[in-house]
Structure 1
């Protein structure tokens, strides 16, 4: 059931309760105390937790999903040695008790957690203790990676955007106008343009939206697959058209396919657009992974489908080390034919012990994948942990190092690796310390901004783990594609920029990732 259907169902139940239930008894001292504790817990949540769980961290479940875990599982996760030991160390005992009360004041736990046997996994650290079919632990926290208890400022949500338009100045492009094309988006993840001018937007909630003539159709596109959206399962992740879309109408969606209860496998769905909905849809790839994050899609000049699958970003060495395992899809980029078949010329095809779909390995979480049309090479943006974000140039068979070499640190401040180089592993082309949380990206090739030709634009969601620091990163290169300088655009909007794309007529479009306040923006040259 998608989020909209869930809200409707909840509303109907609430209405029925209002019409049939007897008058409530006056509150007792006990219920007043519980209410006060819940309110105090909500403040703790907003202060310490919301920066990640309100969309700031791709691996962090959102609030409604946390409520669904139930009090026992939340308590276990926040206990010493539990799944959230690192974050729990930021709270004192009273704060921890209050936030547990707040998160437990919710509907019944989701089935995958309600059926768990806590006695087999008292700290909540090992998913394989209560989910059948998962051969590895997921998102476990080692004690030596914990951070000391410390105070943090209150959460600082981004302001809701005014109506605009907004005027900016930049270095080469002195006058820039930013307009809101549409509001009403919920956790959007990717933009794609139809040749007829409409804009497709994939949402984490499992809905594919369409914008026609600047108006968001209130009804999602039919014919899309059911998605998993709990925790590290992140619903729809990308949408792309086939290079011959004008003649074959094929649309591709990357998503998490429900598996193991409330978890999800990375999958790619292909269907045919008939002008109103998607028909003849089927999966052309289903991974055997869980707790493997983002999948971005792109077609190469060779007509092949390239895509990323992320790796667990935190946890035991066994979990984050999956990026180096040649028989595991996590932490890899993959290459397939447009029908899902494996090309015979893939770099590891026929090599014992390797999944033949693999194109490159050693990645963490890639949220951007763009073809450089001047070199015909793919570039990817990659999230480090606390710093160490990267932009890499993909070359067949290369290993990009995660987690053996990294410029990043764990959230405790400890370095991920003690060496920046290792034979056989490729250094990042661009490294960010502190982090910018890079999202989607595109090389500008249009004529609306001639001075921006050959520039790379990267969506940035936050700098150095701080709220209200999202922006659009513009990177300028020399003739050898070495960085000359970079510029932060749209910083004054204080919005998390999730994706950026160039429209067929040469404008830049971005989506913000601000929960139910997300918008689609268009950048155009302003008057001189």
Structure 2
């Protein structure tokens, strides 16, 4: 454990579990954050957290917070704003955000270096096409795969859902890039006439959770269904995951969507939630310090106000346990820290950073 994380644990407030609560130690590290969305761990033990309204904060292990400057213009509207964060081993900070422009806004990704609480050497990497009006369904999680590539999840922007089945746009897609923003030579649609070369997969609704599975070198994601039908998927290159041709949910005003729940050539989900839990954030745990968590998939729930622990056998999800349901928190983000603990961001105007460890071993 890095030294400043030790100090952070000494300063944080440890919360006693309620009767019937999940068998976890839950520590409150920071509070009063404005809809926190992305989280990374900085060398030395500080945390970097994005707030959806457009602020980037360095949260010190001593409890102090520092505003980080140098962000590009952010279109903070509805579900859009400053969104996910990722940090690579070379010190590049990747961030996703809703980018304003002609026609409205779209999800964009850039990277920069952090120097004295300022972003420097800013490099735009990706901008979703087209830009459209509205403030819903931006995605957008960032995954730095063990294969050295950058994966980006993109929403269908709600009113543009039919574009998720077309390859001439980035609506309702995942994207795969080199970390400098260039397109890998083996991307599945790079040589398809009329297709955008960045596309890795299509047929998605609104993916607010994605993770690399180290045990299998796989890229996984989950997405919000409409009224029911949240999905967990193993995302493979060139595959079509069905939205809106098929869905396990229904229209908000009632009625089925598309052709039903399955169709030839479309990849079925590995897990479906009906009714919806509104998943957001996910991580496969390495189990390095806590073996009972090894290769477990942890998923945050917004509407479900809980953390879901999923057990796998191969690529099959064989079990689910609900954790922290007694707290009534909207879980936005789930990360494994360098100390092996789970770190959560709760989504509200007074959001929190929580640290979790198994109660029996920590």
**Partner Cα separation in structure 2 for residue 275 and residue 506 of structure 1:** 28
Match of 1:196 in 2: 44
Q: How many residues align?
A: 345
1:165 aligns with 2:15: yes
Deviation at 1:184, TM superposition (A): 2.0
**Contact (CA 8 Å) 1:336, 1:357: kept in 2 or not?**
yes
Deviation at 1:448, TM superposition (A): 4.0
**Partner Cα separation in structure 1 for residue 96 and residue 62 of structure 2:** 25
**Runs of 4+ more than 4 Å apart:** 168-171
Match of 1:474 in 2: 309
**Partner Cα separation in structure 2 for residue 215 and residue 342 of structure 1:** 41
1:253-301 per-residue CA deviation (whole Å, 9 max, x = no partner) reads: 111112137x322211111122532111131212232345122111122
**Contact (CA 8 Å) 1:440, 1:499: kept in 2 or not?**
yes
**Contact (CA 8 Å) 1:334, 1:360: kept in 2 or not?**
yes
Unaligned runs of 5+ in 2: 1-12
Q: 1:302 aligns with which of 141, 147, 159?
A: 147
**Partner Cα separation in structure 1 for residue 244 and residue 284 of structure 2:** 28
1:376 aligns with 2:217: yes
**Partner Cα separation in structure 2 for residue 184 and residue 339 of structure 1:** 34
1:235 aligns with 2:85: no
SS at match of 2:207: strand
Matches within 5 A, 1:238-253: 238-242=84-88, 244-245=89-90, 249-253=91-95
SS at match of 2:162: helix
Pair 309,379 (structure 1): closer, same or farther in 2 beyond 3 Å = same
Q: 1:224 aligns with which of 50, 71, 80?
A: 71
**Contact (CA 8 Å) 1:182, 1:214: kept in 2 or not?**
no
**Partner Cα separation in structure 2 for residue 389 and residue 346 of structure 1:** 27
Matches within 5 A, 1:455-474: 455-463=296-304, 470-474=305-309
Structure 2 length-normalised TM: 0.90
Match of 1:277 in 2: 118
**Contact (CA 8 Å) 1:265, 1:287: kept in 2 or not?**
yes
Higher mean displacement: 385-394 or 438-447: 438-447
Deviation at 1:434, TM superposition (A): 0.8
Deviation at 1:168, TM superposition (A): 6.0
Matches within 5 A, 1:505-524: 505-515=339-349, 517-524=350-357
Pair 264,165 (structure 1): closer, same or farther in 2 beyond 3 Å = same
1:380-433 per-residue CA deviation (whole Å, 9 max, x = no partner) reads: 010000100000001110000000011111112312134222111100111111
Match of 1:256 in 2: 98
Deviation at 1:237, TM superposition (A): 1.2
1:338 aligns with 2:179: yes
Match of 2:4 in 1: none
If each structure's helix is expressed as a fraction of its own residues, which one has the higher value? 1
**Partner Cα separation in structure 2 for residue 476 and residue 269 of structure 1:** 34
**Partner Cα separation in structure 2 for residue 330 and residue 216 of structure 1:** 39
Deviation at 1:240, TM superposition (A): 0.6
Indicate the structure whose relative CO is greater, using CA pairs within 8 Å and at least 6 residues apart.
2
Structure 1 length-normalised TM: 0.63
**Contact (CA 8 Å) 1:266, 1:295: kept in 2 or not?**
yes
1:168-204 per-residue CA deviation (whole Å, 9 max, x = no partner) reads: 6899xx7421111011200111111113211111111
1:205 aligns with 2:53: yes
SS at match of 1:220: strand
Unaligned runs of 5+ in 1: 1-162, 464-469
1:349 aligns with 2:190: yes
**Partner Cα separation in structure 1 for residue 14 and residue 225 of structure 2:** 34
**Partner Cα separation in structure 1 for residue 30 and residue 300 of structure 2:** 18
**Partner Cα separation in structure 2 for residue 422 and residue 214 of structure 1:** 54
Matches within 5 A, 1:28-427: 165-167=15-17, 175-213=23-61, 215-217=63-65, 219-231=66-78, 234-242=80-88, 244-245=89-90, 249-260=91-102, 263-291=104-132, 293-313=138-158, 315=159, 319-427=160-268
**Partner Cα separation in structure 1 for residue 300 and residue 311 of structure 2:** 15
**Contact (CA 8 Å) 2:129, 2:171: kept in 1 or not?**
no
**Partner Cα separation in structure 1 for residue 14 and residue 44 of structure 2:** 27
1:153-176 per-residue CA deviation (whole Å, 9 max, x = no partner) reads: xxxxxxxxxx761326899xx742
**Contact (CA 8 Å) 1:168, 1:177: kept in 2 or not?**
no
